Structure 1
Amino acid sequence: MDRYGLICRNILECPGITQRELAKSMDLSLGTVNGLIRECLEKGFIRERDGEKGRELALTDRGRELLAPYKVDGALIIAAGFGSRFVPLTFETPKGLLEVFGERMIERQIRQLYEAGVEDITIAVGYLKEKFEYLIDKYNVKLLYNPEYSCKNTLATVYRARHLLQGRNMYILSSDNWLRENMYHAYECGAWYSAAFKEGDTREWCLTFNKKGRITDVNVGGKDQWVMYGPVYLSREFSARFLPVLEAYYETPGTEQFYWEQPYVDMLKGEAKRRLEAEGGDLLARAETFSGQKASGWDQIEMYANRQPRDQVYEFENLEELRLFDPRYQNHSDNAAMDLVSRVFEVPESEITDICCLKAGMTNKSFLFRVNGSRCICRIPGPGTGLLINRRQEKAVYDTVASLGITEEVLYMNPDTGYKIARYYEGTRTADAENWKDMENCMGIIRKLHQSGLKVGHSFDIRERIGFYERLCLEHGGIPFEDYGQVRGWMNELMDRLDRMNRPKCLCHIDANVDNFLMFPDGSAKLLDWEYAGMCDPVMDISMAAIYSYYDEEQTKRLLELYLQRRPEKEEYYAVFANAALGGFLWCLWAVYKASLGEEFGEYTIIMYRYAKGYYKKLQALR
C-alpha cells in the first residue's frame, strides 16, 4: 500500500479526519499530507462532501478499489505453549487466558480485531486446549490443534497453520500480548512487525531498518534498540516468499526449538540458503521453486518496522511483571497453589517471590519460590494422580521414615489434596546413573531403609498394581501392543514364581529413580518423593532403580552387587530380573493410561515394554 492507500484507509476508518490528524497518524508533515490529498482528489480516490463540521473528505468507489488488495483476511493467534515463567498460574490456566484489569488477554485482542473488522480468527492451541473451547461460541473463532506443542517451538505452530496464511493477508498474534490502544485495521500496507524501543541493554531481537522503515537485519541482543515486540502482519506477497522457506526449515533437523521468525531472520542474513544447502540441496531447490525467487534474492524480502509508542504493547515476561502492571496479582491471583503457600507461611502473596517452574515430573508438577528468606518447592499433583496414588499412605510413610533423616524436610503435606511443600536445598544435584560412586551412595540409602526394621500398614503389591493399571487402560481406549496377551501371560508366570519363592518383605521406596536422589557437596544424599512406597520385596527397589536408569543386564548386576555388598545368589539374580520385567510392564501400562489423559512420554512406553519382554526371555536360562 502506497501513501495514497494510507490516505484512503485513514479517511475510511476515521470519517471527518482533518489534515492535521492525518499528518500525525502518518508521521508526515502537514504540507506533505496536503499535497497527497490534492493528488488523491485529482485521481478520484477521495472527494469532498458536506459533513457535520463543514467540508470533509470521503472515500470514492475508486478509492475502495485501490484498497481492496490490502483487505485483511483474518488473524492467527498463537496460544499453544505452556508459559513456564507464569507458574503456578499456568498449571491451571493458559497464559493467554489470564486476566489483566479484569479482561482476559486473548479476549481483549479478539475484541480489538472485531472492532477493526477482522472476524476470521483462528487460535492455534496445544497446552490445556480445552480451556479455549468456549471462545468458539463466544466469538465464533476456530481452534487449530498443534500436537507438537510440548516438544517444538512456534515454528512448528505456524507450519501447522500455514494453509491459513497462504494467499491471504493475515495478522499473527501472541495470545499473551496486551495492547493499550487498538492497532489493528481492516486494511494494511506491506508486511510489518510491531516494534518497541528498549532503553539500555536488552536480549530481545533487535532491528536494523532503513529510512523507509524496511527491516534490513535482526540480531539478538543490543543496547538502546528498536526490538521485535508484539503483533505481526503478513501480506500475501510476503507469505508467498516466506512460507516455502519456513516449510523447508520445518523439515530440517535441528530446527525443533526455533521461533517462527527464525527463517525470516536467516533470509535477511543469507543464512537460510546456507542452512538448506547443507541438507543436500533438495529442500533449497523446492523452497526456491515455490517462493518464485532464487535464494540469492531472499535477503530482499520486505517487512517493515511498525514502531509503537511507549506503553502501547506489553509482553509480560513473568508473574513479577504482571504484578507490577495489575496490582490485583500482588495478593489475589485466584490460584490455589499461591493461596496455599500464602496460608501456610502466613504471608500475603506479594511476599512469595522468585517463582520459577521446575522440570515437571512424570507424576506431579512443581514450582520453586522464596518466602521469608528461604527457598521452597511446592508440589502439585498431576492429572489423574488422585486415582493412582493414596496420599494418606504417602504421608504415613513420610511420618514413619522421618527418624532416619534420609528424606527431604517436608514443611506441609495435605493427605487429601496431595499438595506438598518442602525445603529446597541449594547447591545440590540429582544422582548420575553413569557415576558408580553416586550409585553406591544411593544404594547405601536404600540399604539403610531396608535394614531399619520400619513398617507401614500397606504394601506395594505388583500383581494388584498391574491389574489396576490394566483395567484403567482398557477403560480408556485399550492397550496398543499387538502381543499384549502373550506378554501378560509371561508376567503371570513371573509373579507366580516369585510368590512360590516367598521372598522377605520390608519397607521399600519403589520409585528409586536417580532423579529422586539428591546429592550434596559433602557426599551425603537424600531420597525424595515417597508416593509409591510400601512393604515389598527389597530387591524391587534395585530393579526399579535399574530400569529407570535404562541399565542393561550387566549394569543391573553391578547395581545389585553394590546394594548387597557381596556377590548375589542365583535366587537374588532371578528376583531382581523378574521384578525389573514386572516393573517395566507396570510402568508401560501406567504410561499408556497417562497417554489416554493427554500426557505423552515419548519412547518411555516402548522402553519399559522391552524390559518386560527382554528380561522374561533372559530368565528362562535361570530356571
Structure 2
Amino acid sequence: MDLRQRLKNAIILAAGIGTRMVPINTELPKGMLEVNGERLIERIIKQLHEANIREIYVVVGFMHEMYDYLQDMYHVQLIYNPLYADRNNLYSLSMALNHLNNTYIIPSDVWLRKNPFLEKSTTSWYMITNAVDDNSFVRLNRQHELCLIPKSKAGNAMVGIAYLHFHDIERIRSQIFSLIENDKNKSAFWEKALCFRDRFFIPAKVVDVHDVMEVNTYEDLRELDHSSNQLKTDAISIISKVLQVAPEDIVDIKILKKGMTNRSFLFRCKRKRYIMRIPGEGTDKLINRKKEANVYYELADHDISDDVVYINPDSGYKISKFLNRAHACNPLDKDDVKKCMAFLRRFHKMDLKVNHYFDLFSEIDFYERLWKGVPSVHKDYLDVKTKVFSLRKFLSRQSIHLSLTHIDAVPDNFLIVNNGPREKIRLIDWEYAAMQDPHLDIAMFAIYSMYNKKQIDSLIDTYFVGECSEIMRVKIYCYISIAGLLWSNWCEYKRILGVEFNEYAEAQYEYAKKYYKLASNKIKNYQ
C-alpha cells in the first residue's frame, strides 16, 4: 500500500473570535469551552489519538496563548494566524496547506459523542447531520452529493469536519490559493474550496444530529451541559444581579453587529429585551469609564440617550433597554439626516455641562503613544500631522462656546424610533462625550458617513438650516481634517491589536490630508 494512503494527520481550526458565543467569547476562545468537565479541543485531540493520529496541527489566533499548553501535554504543533480578526477560517486553513495529506479538518468548537476518526476512510468526505439548518448552504441529494442551495432555502446542518484524501489534495490546494487571492473571500468559510459549480466535489458523510453538536452560542453550551463552568461568566452574573433573575431566565442571547469599540449582545428576560455592552480589545486604554458614567448621569431624564439600567464606571459593562421598532440613521437618506441634524441641534442648545474636556490634539498624540514605537503605515505621517496641527492657530482665534458634545456622533449612533404615532430619536454610545465645540459632531457624522464635499456642505446647511457663515464652514472643515487624523491614529492602534478597519482607516487619513488643504487655502482669506 502507498505510504501516502496509510499516513493520516489532522488540522484543527481554532483561530476565530467566535462572536456568536457572547458573552463567553470575551473571556476565552471556543476551543477552551468545557463540556462535562472536558475542554472541547482536548476531547477532539484524545479522539484523534484513539485513532492513532498523532500528527496534529492547531491553527490559533484569538487568545492564542491559551492553547500553548497543548504543545507539551499532547505534542501538537501550533500555527499562528495573525489575521484571525479580519479573516474567516478559509485563511486559517491556507496557513496549513503544506500539511494536507490524508487530513482531517476539524473546527475546535464541536462536541462529538462518537469518535468518527476510528472508521477507515478511503475517500474524501464532508460531514453533515440529518438535521435541517436555515444557515446551511448545502443539501444532500439522492446520489449522496452535497448540492449548493439558495440562502432562502434550508439545508443539512454542516458540521465543518471533513476527511481529505490525498487524491483530492492538489485540487483543494489550488482552490484555496485561488480563493485567498481575492479579498472578497476574506469572510469565506473553508468549505468554499470544496465547491465546484453547483455542488461539493467530495461526497457527504451523514451522522445523527445527536452524535455531534457545534457549540456556537451560549445557549448551545447550556443545552449541552447546563453545569458547565463557562456558563458562569461575569456578564451573566451581572445581568442576574441587576435584574434580580436566575441565569436560566436570560434567553435569546444574540450577538449584535460588532461595534468598532465594543462587543454587545441582545437578550430577553421576563418578556423584556435588553442590550449588554462589553468593552472590546484595548478599550481600557481608550475610554475613561468614570467620565462616561458621569455623562450618562448628566443625560438622565433628558430623553436624549438610550435608557441605561446599569453602568459600571470601572469595567465599562452597561445594560440598557432595547429600543423596539428602531433603525439607525441612513446617511444617504435625506429625510433621516434632516431629522437627526434637527435632534443634534436641539441637544446642543441644551448646553449641558460635565467636568471633563476632549482635547483633539492631545488625543491624537495619545493614540500615537499607544503604538509604542511601531511606525505609522503612512510614509508621510509626520508631514501630515504637522500640517493638521497647524490648524490649531486658526481655531484658537475663533469664538467657541463649549458644551457637552457627543464626539462620536456617527449615523449608527442615531436611532430613529417609530413607536406609535410619535417618532422619537435617541443618540447612543456616549463613551467619548465631553466638553467641546458642539460643531465637532457635524464633522464626525460626515467623515464616518464617507461623505464627499458636496454631501458635507449639504450636511452643514441642514444642521444650520441654511444659515452657516463661511468662517463657520471653514472651522468645520478644520475639524474634519483633525478628526480624520484622530480616528486614523485610533485605527492604527486597533490594527496593532489585530483588529483591521481597512477602508474606514484609509478614508480617515485621506480626510486629514484633503481637508487640511481645503481649510488652509480658505484660512488665507481671514489673515
| Amino acid of the structure 2 residue aligned with 1:448 | R
Secondary structure at the aligned position of 2:278 is classed as: strand
Shift in CA distance, 261/376, structure 1 to aligned 2, threshold 3 Å? same
Judge which range, 95-104 or 304-313, deviates more: 304-313
1:615 aligns with 2:512: no
Equivalent residue, structure 2, for 1:358: 256
Per-residue CA shift, 1:441-479, capped at 9, x if unaligned?
Answer: 212222222211321111111122122222222x25132
1:196 aligns with 2:129: yes
Equivalent residue, structure 2, for 1:234: 164
| Amino acid of the structure 2 residue aligned with 1:157 | S
Question: 1:199 & 1:429 partners in 2: Cα distance?
Answer: 31
Aligned residues: 519
Matched-pair contact (CA < 8 Å) for 1:197–1:310: yes
Matched-pair contact (CA < 8 Å) for 2:82–2:498: no
Shift in CA distance, 332/322, structure 1 to aligned 2, threshold 3 Å? closer
Whichever of the two has the greater Rg, that structure is 1
- Determine which of 423, 427, 445 is the counterpart of 1:545: 445
Matched-pair contact (CA < 8 Å) for 1:158–1:260: yes
1:110 aligns with 2:8: no
Equivalent residue, structure 1, for 2:387: 490
Q: CA deviation at 1:482?
A: 1.7
Shift in CA distance, 69/200, structure 1 to aligned 2, threshold 3 Å? closer
Higher relative contact order, chain-length normalized (CA < 8 Å, sep 6+) = 2
- Determine which of 144, 147, 163 is the counterpart of 1:218: 147
Q: CA deviation at 1:147?
A: 4.3
Matched-pair contact (CA < 8 Å) for 2:57–2:79: yes
Question: 1:234 & 1:444 partners in 2: Cα distance?
Answer: 60
Equivalent residue, structure 2, for 1:478: 375
Equivalent residue, structure 2, for 1:575: 475
Q: CA deviation at 1:224?
A: 12
Per-residue CA shift, 1:232-290, capped at 9, x if unaligned?
Answer: 211111223443344334446754444333343426x4x7xxxxxxxxxxxxxxxxxxx
Equivalent residue, structure 1, for 2:415: 518
Per-residue CA shift, 1:558-593, capped at 9, x if unaligned?
Answer: 222222223211220121111111111111111111
Q: CA deviation at 1:307?
A: 4.4
Matched-pair contact (CA < 8 Å) for 2:133–2:156: no
Equivalent residue, structure 1, for 2:212: 313
Q: Once superposed, what is the RMSD of the aligned Cα atoms? A: 2.7
Secondary structure at the aligned position of 1:370 is classed as: strand
1:383 aligns with 2:383: no
Equivalent residue, structure 1, for 2:506: 606
Per-residue CA shift, 1:188-221, capped at 9, x if unaligned?
Answer: 42223334333899957332365xxxx4443549
Unaligned runs of at least 5 residues, structure 1? 1-65, 272-298
Equivalent residue, structure 1, for 2:224: 325
Shift in CA distance, 113/584, structure 1 to aligned 2, threshold 3 Å? same
Shift in CA distance, 486/131, structure 1 to aligned 2, threshold 3 Å? same
Equivalent residue, structure 1, for 2:174: 244
Question: 1:451 & 1:188 partners in 2: Cα distance?
Answer: 72
Shift in CA distance, 556/206, structure 1 to aligned 2, threshold 3 Å? closer
Equivalent residue, structure 2, for 1:87: 22
Shift in CA distance, 224/620, structure 1 to aligned 2, threshold 3 Å? closer
Equivalent residue, structure 2, for 1:433: 331
Query: What TM-score comes out, normalization by structure 1 length?
Result: 0.77
Question: 1:241 & 1:580 partners in 2: Cα distance?
Answer: 50
Judge which range, 152-161 or 248-257, deviates more: 248-257
Shift in CA distance, 494/207, structure 1 to aligned 2, threshold 3 Å? same
Equivalent residue, structure 1, for 2:11: 76
Q: CA deviation at 1:369?
A: 0.3
Matched-pair contact (CA < 8 Å) for 1:408–1:528: yes
| Amino acid of the structure 2 residue aligned with 1:180 | R
Unaligned runs of at least 5 residues, structure 2? none
Equivalent residue, structure 2, for 1:559: 459
Matched-pair contact (CA < 8 Å) for 1:177–1:313: yes
Question: 2:258 & 2:175 partners in 1: Cα distance?
Answer: 34
- Determine which of 236, 241, 264 is the counterpart of 1:343: 241
Question: 2:479 & 2:157 partners in 1: Cα distance?
Answer: 57
Judge which range, 170-179 or 141-150, deviates more: 141-150
Matched-pair contact (CA < 8 Å) for 2:10–2:106: yes
